[in-house]
Amino acid sequence: MAEQLLFGAAVGFEAARAVSLLPEGHRSRRLHGHSFLANVRVALPDGWAAFPGAEVDQLRDRLAAAIGPLDYQHLNLQVDQPTDENLARWVRRQLDMRGIDTVGIQSTQHEGVDLDRNNHAHVWRRYVFQSAHQLPKVPPGHKCGTMHGHGFEVIIHANQDLGRSEISIDYDHLDALWAPIQQELDHSCLNDIPGLENPTSEMLSSWIWRRLKPQLPELSWVTVYETAACGAHFDGAHYRIWKELTFDSAVRLKQAPEGDKRRRVHGHTYTLRLHLNAPLDIVMGWTIDFGDVKEIFSPIFLK
Residue 133 a catalytic site member: no
Is 230 annotated as catalytic? no
List 122, 144, 157, 233, catalytic entry: 144
CA distance 99 to 265: 32
CA distance 158 to 217: 8
Name 262's Cβ contacts closer than 8 Å, sequence gap at least 6. Answer: 53, 54, 252, 253, 256
**Parallel, antiparallel, or unpaired: how do β-strands 230-234 and 188-189 relate?**
unpaired
Q: How many residues in total does the chain contain?
A: 303
Catalytic residue among 142, 148, 187, 268: 187
Asked whether the beta carbons of 111 and 172 are under 8 A apart, the reply is no
Q: Which residues of 174-191 are buried (b: 16+ CB within 10 A; e: fewer)?
A: beebbeebeeebeebebb
Q: Which member of 55, 111, 218, 226 is catalytic?
A: 226
Assign 226 to helix, strand or coil.
strand
Which residues are identified as catalytic? 144, 187, 226
